[in-house]
Amino acid sequence: MSKKIKPIQQRSYLALHAAVCPMCKSPNIESENIDADGEWGTANCSCCVCGSQWTDIWRVTSFHNLNEGMSDAELKQVEQKAAVVRALNK
C-alpha cells in the first residue's frame, strides 16, 4: 500500500509565492485562463510533473515597468491617448 501524500498547507504555499505545485512541490507548473477583475484574479494551474490541477487566487498589489523601453515618440502617443481617456472618464 502506498503512502498518501498530503498537499502543502495554504500558508506554506503562499510563503513560496505560489511558484510550486501544492502537491509535489515541483516548480514545473503551467497557468492558463488567467482572469482578472479589478484587484483580484484567478488562474487555472497544473503541474507538469504529477498532473495536479488547481486554481490560484491572487490580488494585485502593485505594478512596475510601466512603459519601460518605449521611445520618446511612443511615450508621447501613450500620454496623449491617456489624457483623452481621462477626460472622457471625468
Question: What is the per-residue pLDDT for 1?
Answer: 59
Question: What are the CA-CA distances from residue 77 to residues 56, 60, 72, 84 (Å)?
Answer: 36, 26, 9, 11
Would you say residue 79 has pLDDT above 70?
Answer: yes
Question: What is the per-residue pLDDT for 9?
Answer: 76
Mean pLDDT of 68-73: 94
Mean pLDDT of 56-66: 87
Q: What is the pLDDT of residues 2-52, one digit of tens each?
A: 667 677 777 776 666 668 898 898 999 999 998 988 889 999 999 999 999
Residue 44 in grid coordinates? 487555472
